[in-house]
Amino acid sequence: MDTNSTVSRRRFMGGLAAILGYLGLGPDAELWAQATRSGRRRRPTEAEYDAFAKLSSNENPYGPSESVLEAMHYGFKYANRYGYPDGGILEAIADHHGVKTENVLLGAGSGEILKIVGNTFLKIRKKVVGVEPSYGSVYRHASGIKADAIKLPLLADYRQDIPAIIDTTNKNYRDVGFVYMCNPNNPTGVIVTKDEIASLLDAIPVDVPVLMDEAYHHFVEDPRYETAIPHVLAGRQVVVARTFSKISGLAGIRLGYAVAPANLIAQMRPNGTGSVSAIAKWGGATAIKDTAEQEKVKAITLKLRKKTMAELEALGFDCIPSETNFFMVYLGRQVQPVIEEFRVLGVRVGRPFPPMLEHLRVSIGTADEMDRFMVAFKEIFPAGKSVPTC
Ligand SMILES: Cc1ncc(COP(=O)(O)O)c(C=O)c1O
């Protein structure tokens, strides 16, 4: 076992007691911590869940704005109905992107959109081409439906290898169901530039669909980035997936959508499940127009991301420059035990992302949560930097 990765029992217990006190948690939390120490995992109780600093799932810690809450409350008027007025959600999305409603498909989160794309374009033994690490649920879904994934490594600077994606797609043309591109990429936070997207679309056959997952679109500052919506407007076989989970704080409400040429939406639509609730539709129709709230969330999130990364870098730890509401820090040792150590200290951080098993993904929470992250980080790495640069 890597001795560096093992917190001494005394420090572990001391840290645990301190954090339980800090969180004001009673015997339940102690039982939970014992279960964690012994390797058994049970679902945390509500009190335990609430007490965690939740920096593991790239959520928006602030939740929906007042206006969105009001709209969702209004949506309850139709809680008992089918075929109800839906707040104009499709029109609101279509207007926002300058497309027609025939170019929009709703999903219960963009996760459902990703699955619909898989179910539509990956017949048995068809392949999705993308990079690893990326948002792995696309690849897991492919294997679940007896299709396959060709996962290409990232470049040394963590960018997606566009020439390799082009080459692989062209060489496997007859087998490729679609190309998956998460932009910016989860878990690295690194963008694909608009020029790179153009070069990809210019170089692969026009009938290969490209799924552009823009879950973190709203957090990007880099001027070399651009949404792929203009390619949809130009009639390319591009599906843009967007979510209300991140910038709009609606992860638990479940709302996402696809924007794509009408022929692709028509193929995808039969695979939809119609699982979006009236509450989600009313909330989404307001959220997409609430640009003031989006700006507010972006500003505070980026401020906290930059502050936290600067603090880690001052301790000697390298971070990958990010364009999202999360970032990766290089630990120089296996991440899994570190994730457990954070958990015991009341902080949930990202899971391992093979093959980057010495990097930790940290989502940006509230200022208080980021302070708790730094306190825990210094407890787990008391000597500061003890590792070579990545
Ligand atoms: C890149 C990416 N795409 C899609 C999703 C799915 O999000 P949701 O289903 O909540 O819209 C996530 C969630 O974290 C994500 O990181």
Residue 385 lies in a domain: no
Higher-confidence residue: 261 or 23?
A: 261
The pLDDT tens digits for 84-136 are 999 999 999 999 999 999 999 999 999 999 999 999 999 878 999 999 999 99
Token pair for 124: 């048995």
197, 240: one domain = yes
* Rounded Cα gap, residues 261 and 266, in angstroms: 9
Q: Among 177, 200, 184, 181, which residue's Cα sits nearest to residue 130?
A: 181
Residue 388 lies in a domain: no
Q: Among 185, 245, 248, 195, which residue's Cα sits nearest to residue 220?
A: 185
Q: 257 CB contacts (<8 Å, ≥6 apart)? A: 93, 104, 105, 106, 107, 110, 113, 241, 242
Which pLDDT value is given to residue 377? 98
Residue that is last in its domain, among 287, 320, 345: 287
252, 370: one domain = no
The C-alpha angle with vertex 243 and arms to 241 and 247, in degrees rounded to 5, equals 135
* Ligand 1 binding pocket includes 186 (Cβ within 6 Å): yes
145, 282: one domain = yes
Residue 386 lies in a domain: no
Tell me, in angstroms, the distance from the centre of ligand 1 to residue 390's CA.
Answer: 27
* Rounded Cα gap, residues 26 and 47, in angstroms: 10
* Rounded Cα gap, residues 227 and 240, in angstroms: 8
CATH number at residue 92: 3.40.640.10
Which pLDDT value is given to residue 274? 87
132, 240: one domain = yes
Residue 387 lies in a domain: no
Q: How far apart are the first and last CA of the chain?
A: 21
138, 246: one domain = yes
Segments forming the whole domain that contains residue 163:
66-287
pLDDT band at 40 (very low <50, low <70, confident <90, very high): low
253, 198: one domain = yes
CATH number at residue 366: 3.90.1150.10
Q: How many CB atoms lie within 10 A of CB 73?
A: 12
178, 278: one domain = yes
389 pLDDT more than 60: no
CA torsion, points 157, 226, 300, 308, in degrees to nearest 10?
A: 0
167, 269: one domain = yes
Token pair for 128: 């999705």
Tell me, in angstroms, the distance from the centre of ligand 1 to residue 134's CA.
Answer: 11
Which pLDDT value is given to residue 158? 98
Residue that is last in its domain, among 287, 317, 333: 287
Lowest mean pLDDT among 15-24, 50-59, 260-269, 270-279: 15-24
Q: Find tokens 């409400």 and name the residue.
A: 253
HEC string for 295-342: HHHHHHHHHHHHHHHHHHHHCCCCEECCCCCEEEEECCCCHHHHHHHH
Residue 389 lies in a domain: no
Residue that is last in its domain, among 247, 262, 287: 287
Q: Are strands 238-243 and 256-259 parallel, antiparallel or unpaired?
A: antiparallel
| Half-sphere exposure at residue 194, Cβ-oriented, CA atoms within 13 angstroms | 12
* Rounded Cα gap, residues 346 and 51, in angstroms: 7
The pLDDT tens digits for 124-166 are 789 999 999 999 999 999 989 898 999 999 999 999 999 999 9
252, 266: one domain = yes
27, 170: one domain = no
* Rounded Cα gap, residues 315 and 386, in angstroms: 10
Q: Where are the beta strands (DSSP E) in the chain?
A: 53-55, 104-107, 127-132, 148-153, 176-182, 210-213, 238-243, 256-259, 319-320, 326-330, 347-349, 359-363
54, 99: one domain = no
Tell me, in angstroms, the distance from the centre of ligand 1 to residue 111's CA.
Answer: 5
Token pair for 25: 């948690």
Residue 124 lies in a domain: yes
As for how many domains the chain has, the answer is 2
Tell me, in angstroms, the distance from the centre of ligand 1 to residue 240's CA.
Answer: 13
* Ligand 1 binding pocket includes 251 (Cβ within 6 Å): yes
Residue 327 lies in a domain: yes
* Ligand 1 binding pocket includes 209 (Cβ within 6 Å): no
215, 331: one domain = no
Q: Which atom of ligand 1 is nearest to the CA of 256?
A: 11
